[in-house]
Amino acid sequence: MRVYQIETIGAPGRLTELPCPEPGPGQIRVAIRACGLNFADLLMQKGTYQDTPPAPFVPGMEIAGVVDSLGEGVTGFARGDRVAVYCGHGGLAEFGVFDAARVARIPDQMSFEDAAAFQIAYGTSHMALDQRARLQPGETLLVTGAAGGVGLTAVEIGKLMGATVIAQARGADKLAVARAAGADHLIDAGEDLRQRVLDLGGADVVYDAVGGDLWKAAFRACNPEARLLPIGFASGEVPQIPANHLLVKNLTVIGFYIGGYLKFRPAALTESLRTLTGWYLEGRLTPHVSNVLPLDRVEEGLALLRDRRSTGKVVITL
């Protein structure tokens, strides 16, 4: 089978061929049709992601495809079932073997491209805003990097949950995408984020996928008792949090990493996916996939993420 493999940490990957894997007990082999790219794939390539596997490895954190073979003891699935898997890595390959507990059916109405773009971005935003930040109707949600893979879903889900959404992104084109996802107010990268948010009444919840100076400005634009979610650090700078300011304004910073739930509470992921799939079938969620590329153009897809030229998700088809 063809795969895109990272052979040396810190170096570009390459297309190669590996033997097709056989499923063991409790495992399912999936013929992969689509794989969603994530910023974390770039971090794995550099060796800076918290769950980087040892090299050589195949990146690709979320896939959709068709059940191809069942390992011993697997029940509830059959060959030909349409499924999605939040696999962590191994997605940029023609076939993958995954624990059955991680495999979820997808409805016939959902394309493989949408399914591959769905799990991490929507799951992150739904669980972060609902279970962790407890976003309430009528509150104001500030989303930085609002046209990116997770940021755009935070805009969409925040609006579904009844919040007033302020979206920050770079440039008119990206802001238009955030507006189409439901943003009520738009802030360009060159504007004074802190002052604009304060002029709009301040933020009750901050969903920050960028870090750096944007985190600092968002932090200073919070209302008393606001909750802040440091979701990612696309700027390359991990924020340092002044605890004395937390005290004065009664702020709460909430850690959230969706991958951690695979280890200590996977049922929460399953329940979230069930809710999100229902919203998708009702037409309330519309995944935004800006680029669909074949496997032999995966480097181009990663460059779109690296250079921040994509909006929403980039999907590789196989």
Looking at every residue in the chain, the average pLDDT score rounds to 95
Alpha-carbon torsion, ordered 293, 314, 21, 49, to 10 deg: 140
Please give the pLDDT value at position 172: 96
Are 186 and 161 in a shared domain? Answer: yes
State the total domains in the chain: 2
Indicate if the pLDDT at residue 63 is higher than 90: yes
Are 40 and 140 in a shared domain? Answer: no
Please give the pLDDT value at position 117: 94
What is the C-alpha to C-alpha distance for residues 23 and 99, in angstroms, rounded to an integer?
A: 9
Give domain status of residue 61, yes or no: yes
Omega into 56 within 30° of 0, i.e. cis?
A: yes
Residue with tokens 């739904």: 126
260 within 8 A of 123, measured Cβ to Cβ: no
Are 60 and 152 in a shared domain? Answer: no
More confident residue, 28 or 149: 28
Check residue 85 and give left, alpha or beta (phi > 0: left; psi -120 to 50: alpha).
Answer: beta
Give domain status of residue 224, yes or no: yes
Indicate if the pLDDT at residue 234 is higher than 90: no
Indicate if the pLDDT at residue 26 is higher than 90: yes
The model's pLDDT over 239-250, given as tens digits with 9 standing for 90+, comes to 889 899 899 999
The last residue of a domain, from among 213, 235, 253 = 253
Q: Confidence band (pLDDT; 50, 70, 90) for 2?
A: very high
Give domain status of residue 239, yes or no: yes
Are 115 and 148 in a shared domain? Answer: no
Are 89 and 18 in a shared domain? Answer: yes
Minimum mean pLDDT among 7-11, 261-265, 282-286: which range?
Answer: 261-265
Task: Estimate the crossing angle of helix 112-126 against helix 149-160, to 10 degrees.
Answer: 70
Give domain status of residue 139, yes or no: yes
Q: Confidence band (pLDDT; 50, 70, 90) for 36?
A: very high
Are 152 and 197 in a shared domain? Answer: yes
Indicate if the pLDDT at residue 269 is higher than 90: no
Give domain status of residue 129, yes or no: no
Give domain status of residue 127, yes or no: no
CB atoms within 10 A of CB 79: 12
Confidence (pTM): 0.90
Adjacent-strand bridge partners of 144:
208
Are 184 and 208 in a shared domain? Answer: yes
Tell me the mean pLDDT in the region 15-36. 97
77 within 8 A of 103, measured Cβ to Cβ: yes
Please give the pLDDT value at position 5: 98
Non-local CB neighbours of 260 within 8 Å, separated by 6+ positions = none
Q: Confidence band (pLDDT; 50, 70, 90) for 176?
A: very high
Range of the domain at 225: 134-253
Domain at 266, CATH number: 3.90.180.10
Q: Confidence band (pLDDT; 50, 70, 90) for 270?
A: confident
Are 102 and 82 in a shared domain? Answer: yes
Q: Confidence band (pLDDT; 50, 70, 90) for 271?
A: confident
Token pair in block for residue 253: 């910073």
313 within 8 A of 47, measured Cβ to Cβ: no
Indicate if the pLDDT at residue 288 is higher than 90: yes
Are 215 and 66 in a shared domain? Answer: no
Are 40 and 55 in a shared domain? Answer: yes
Domain at 154, CATH number: 3.40.50.720
Tell me the mean pLDDT in the region 90-100. 97
Are 231 and 191 in a shared domain? Answer: yes
Give domain status of residue 126, yes or no: no
CA-nearest of 91, 107, 110 to 31 is 91
Indicate if the pLDDT at residue 268 is higher than 90: no
Are 95 and 79 in a shared domain? Answer: yes
CA 289 to chain centre: 12
Please give the pLDDT value at position 82: 97
Q: Confidence band (pLDDT; 50, 70, 90) for 283?
A: very high
Please give the pLDDT value at position 266: 81
